[in-house]
């Protein structure tokens, strides 16, 4: 299961190299275990060639005691080896799970929708599961096959040749298994990922599917994808199962062939009866790892593909080094001629937008749909990186901050509100384990949601369920607003924060924006309704990804709301932006 050759060693290889001492221990135990596997052969050899001719019961009892002790030692070592391999898989998971999770989170922001979803986590599970199975033990036992063959040759050349022919046949079957399962297994893995993504999307949009009668159609798509997955998986299983059955039968035939050859040698007085039994046991033991490897070949192929895929992904998404810790921003937000391209796309959504805001400023961003407003604010909070230009806080570009540290100074409310399974307090505090109740309540009060929360069954400790299922859309949006305000961030970005709010919610939003500005925060609000920008003092008008106007709210709105007769062009922009509908 070695990684594909790369110029730079993969992180998976580095993590596995950290378990080098454990692998050395497994190798040493494999050596002892395979020597102890000779117990049965030597015991039968002694019984047939020494005990039976001498009819010595004490010798038999002594051999039984020795054999029992050796078998017990073999069993104990085999159990310890299996546990060590399982713990190697666990150690690999523990060293990489945070890194893989970080990659899963960052991947959509780099490649957009063309990503593998949760496949990296499944790949790590595949590797860990294989390391904890009997497969690695079989591969550790395979190098000892020549030892057993050599002993067979020592008994007699014909016994050695018979065992060697069987070994060649079984090794050939192993190579055929590798060749025939590679493509079906790879296809099955890809189809499994598609199937899981479809199921996740259907579960997330269950209300839409049921309400609009789309369940049957999506079920048909699921069935088609599932049939392809099952067909590919079945092909791989058929190959492994068929060749595994052939290998098992050939191993039994080989054991009988060794007995027959041994009997022929005894008849011609070229071997003893003990050699017949011992040779049969040795030949079976020699080929057992091959048989076991074929039986676990499917999981081995899956783990190897996961290894390659995960290694390439981790190299594509390198681990970010921790930058020098900067002082908290307190003064200015500067946007310097930024152009933005959606992840995984090539067309610019926002082009050459520049403006600057100082502490206490509030900016309203307006404009028609698809004018680049949401894309712009994603760049302001560091979710999307500009392809040109910079977003700076107090002169420092956002990429000079670590994600976690920058997040302390930013409050963000996206269009699509996502809350997480947990309590209301945990969601407001961004799941900070050291959050103080005073800070949580202060954020809720600033967002005007405190009274609503304390009326819930368990107040701030109310469990809201996955994706905030226990809350209405308006409640979820107001809790998300409190989350954006938690910790008194310097930059607060609200993307259509009143889309699900009633009049009371709109008033609370305006008060929250004024309060944040009063304490020196910069607030950016994207809005389609005039009440959304009531509490700001600056306005940016966007159209076709470009800034059409920027400045004090009264000046800009007066300009874009001029009568159609005076300046036709601006009126056209304003009517498309929807501002005149107030």
**Secondary structure of 347-386 in HEC code, one letter for each residue:** CEEEEEEEEEEECCCEEEEECCCCCCHHHHHHHHCCCCCC
**Secondary structure class of 546 (helix, strand, coil):** strand
Q: How many other C-beta atoms are found inside a 10 Å radius of the C-beta of residue 75?
A: 12
Separation between Cα atoms, residue 282 and residue 236, nearest integer Å: 31
Domains of the chain: 11-315 (1.20.1560.10)
Per-residue DSSP letter, 488: -
- pLDDT for 7: 40
**Secondary structure class of 324 (helix, strand, coil):** coil
* 113-122 LR contacts (CB < 8 Å, sep 24+): 113/344, 114/344, 115/344, 116/193, 116/309, 116/313, 117/193, 117/196, 117/197, 117/200, 118/196, 118/200, 119/193, 119/309, 120/309, 120/310, 120/313, 122/193, 122/196, 122/306
- Residue of 285 and 68 predicted with greater confidence: 68
Is the pLDDT at 387 greater than 80, yes or no? yes
* Secondary structure of 103-120 in HEC code, one letter for each residue: HHHHHHHHHCCCCCCCHH
Per-residue DSSP letter, 491: E
Separation between Cα atoms, residue 284 and residue 73, nearest integer Å: 21
359 backbone dihedrals φ, ψ, rounded to 5°: -55, 130
Separation between Cα atoms, residue 181 and residue 189, nearest integer Å: 12
> For residue 313, what are the contacts with CB-CB under 8 A and spacing of at least 6?
103, 107, 116, 120
pLDDT digit string (tens) for 397-428?
888 888 888 888 999 998 888 888 889 999 99
Q: Which of 424, 563, 543, 560 is nearest to 482 (CA)?
A: 424
- pLDDT for 473: 82
Separation between Cα atoms, residue 50 and residue 36, nearest integer Å: 21
- Which H or E run contains 338? strand 332-341
Separation between Cα atoms, residue 429 and residue 487, nearest integer Å: 8
Token look-up 């020699």 returns 286
Separation between Cα atoms, residue 108 and residue 317, nearest integer Å: 11
- pLDDT for 65: 95
Phi-psi region of 234 (alpha: psi -120 to 50; beta: other; left: phi over 0): alpha
Token look-up 């933005």 returns 340
Is the pLDDT at 471 greater than 50, yes or no? yes
- pLDDT for 562: 62
**Secondary structure class of 540 (helix, strand, coil):** strand
Q: Are the C-beta atoms of 474 and 505 separated by less than 8 Å?
A: yes
- For 382-386, what is the mean pLDDT? 88
Is the pLDDT at 163 greater than 50, yes or no? yes
Separation between Cα atoms, residue 559 and residue 566, nearest integer Å: 11
Q: Which of 363, 404, 360, 366 is nearest to 380 (CA)?
A: 363
- pLDDT for 117: 67
Count helices and strands (H / E) in the chain. Answer: 22, 10
Q: How confident is the model at residue 111 (pLDDT cuts 50, 70, 90)?
A: low
Percent of the chain with pLDDT over 90: 22
Q: What angle do CA 400, 406, 412 make, to 5 degrees?
A: 135
- Integer CA distances (angstroms), 10 to 57, 348, 368, in order: 61, 34, 47
* Secondary structure of 271-323 in HEC code, one letter for each residue: CCHHHHHHHHHHHHHHHHHHHHHHHCHHHHHHHHHHHHHHHHHHHHCCCCCCC
Is pTM, for the whole model, over 0.85?
no
540 backbone dihedrals φ, ψ, rounded to 5°: -120, 125
Q: Are the C-beta atoms of 334 and 391 separated by less than 8 Å?
A: yes
The pair of structure tokens assigned to 224 is: 């088609």
- For 290-319, what is the mean pLDDT? 81
Is the pLDDT at 563 greater than 60, yes or no? no
- Which H or E run contains 526? strand 522-526
The pair of structure tokens assigned to 442 is: 């202060």
Is the pLDDT at 275 greater than 60, yes or no? yes
Encode burial over 187-208: b for 16+ CB neighbours within 10 A, e otherwise: bbbebbbbbbbbeeebeeeeee
Is the pLDDT at 525 greater than 50, yes or no? yes
Separation between Cα atoms, residue 302 and residue 126, nearest integer Å: 7
The pair of structure tokens assigned to 52 is: 């039976």
Q: Are the C-beta atoms of 172 and 243 separated by less than 8 Å?
A: no
Phi-psi region of 186 (alpha: psi -120 to 50; beta: other; left: phi over 0): alpha
Q: How confident is the model at residue 116 (pLDDT cuts 50, 70, 90)?
A: low
Top mean pLDDT of 53-67, 237-251, 491-505 is at 53-67
Separation between Cα atoms, residue 372 and residue 191, nearest integer Å: 35
Q: What angle do CA 525, 528, 533 make, to 5 degrees?
A: 40
Sign of the CA dihedral running 475, 476, 480, 481: negative
Out of 94-103, 165-174, 290-299, least confident range: 290-299
């Amino acid at each position: 299961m070695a990684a594909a050759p790369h110029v730079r060693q993969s992180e998976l290889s580095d993590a596995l190299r950290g378990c080098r001492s454990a692998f050395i221990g497994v190798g040493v135990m494999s050596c002892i275990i395979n020597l102890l596997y000779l117990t049965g052969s030597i015991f039968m050899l002694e019984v047939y060639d020494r005990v039976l001719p001498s009819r010595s019961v004490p010798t038999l009892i002594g051999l039984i005691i020795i054999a029992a002790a050796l078998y017990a030692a073999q069993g104990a070592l085999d159990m310890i080896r299996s546990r060590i391999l399982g713990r190697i898989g666990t150690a690999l998971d523990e060293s990489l799970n945070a890194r893989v999770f970080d990659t899963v989170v960052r991947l959509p922001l780099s490649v957009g929708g063309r990503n593998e979803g949760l496949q990296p986590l499944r790949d790590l599970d595949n590797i860990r599961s294989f390391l904890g199975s009997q497969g690695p033990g079989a591969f550790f036992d395979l190098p000892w096959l020549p030892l057993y063959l050599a002993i067979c040759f020592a008994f007699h050349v014909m016994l050695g040749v018979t065992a060697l022919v069987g070994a060649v046949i079984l090794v050939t079957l192993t190579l055929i298994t590798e060749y025939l399962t590679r493509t079906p297994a790879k296809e099955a893995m890809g189809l499994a990922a598609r199937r899981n993504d479809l199921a996740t999307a259907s579960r997330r949009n269950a209300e839409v599917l049921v309400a609009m009668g789309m369940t049957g159609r999506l079920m048909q798509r699921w069935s088609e994808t599932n049939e392809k997955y099952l067909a590919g998986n079945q092909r791989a299983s058929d190959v492994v199962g068929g060749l595994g059955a052939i290998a098992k039968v050939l191993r039994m035939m080989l054991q009988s062939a060794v007995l027959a050859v041994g009997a022929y040698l005894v008849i011609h007085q070229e071997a003893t009866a003990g050699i017949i039994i011992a040779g049969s046991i040795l030949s079976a033991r020699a080929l057992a790892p091959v048989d076991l490897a074929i039986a676990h070949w499917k999981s081995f192929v899956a783990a190897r593909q996961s290894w390659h895929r995960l290694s390439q992904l981790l190299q594509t998404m390198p681990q970010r080094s921790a930058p020098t810790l900067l002082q908290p921003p307190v003064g200015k937000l500067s946007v310097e001629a930024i152009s933005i391209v959606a992840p995984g796309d090539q067309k610019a959504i926002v082009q050459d937008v520049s403006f600057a805001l100082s502490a206490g400023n509030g900016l309203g961003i307006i404009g028609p749909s698809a004018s680049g407003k949401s894309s712009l604010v994603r760049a302001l909070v560091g979710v999307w990186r500009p392809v040109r230009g910079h977003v700076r806080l107090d002169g420092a570009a956002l990429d000079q901050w670590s994600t976690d540290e920058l997040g302390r100074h930013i409050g963000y409310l996206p269009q699509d509100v996502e809350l997480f399974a947990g309590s209301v307090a945990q969601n407001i505090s961004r799941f900070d384990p050291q959050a103080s109740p005073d800070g949580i309540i202060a954020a809720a009060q600033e967002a005007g949601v405190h009274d609503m929360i304390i009326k819930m069954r368990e107040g701030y400790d109310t469990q809201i369920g996955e994706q905030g299922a226990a809350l209405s859309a308006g409640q979820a949006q107001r809790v998300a607003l409190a989350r954006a305000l938690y910790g008194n961030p310097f930059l607060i970005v609200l993307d259509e924060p009143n889309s699900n709010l009633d009049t009371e919610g709109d008033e609370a939003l305006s008060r929250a924006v004024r309060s944040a500005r009063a304490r020196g925060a910069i607030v950016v609000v994207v809005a389609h309704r005039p009440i959304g920008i009531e509490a700001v003092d600056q306005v940016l008008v966007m159209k076709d990804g470009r800034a059409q106007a920027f400045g004090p709210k009264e000046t800009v709105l007066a300009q874009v709301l001029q009568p159609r007769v005076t300046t036709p062009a601006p009126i056209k922009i304003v009517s498309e932006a929807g501002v005149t509908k107030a």
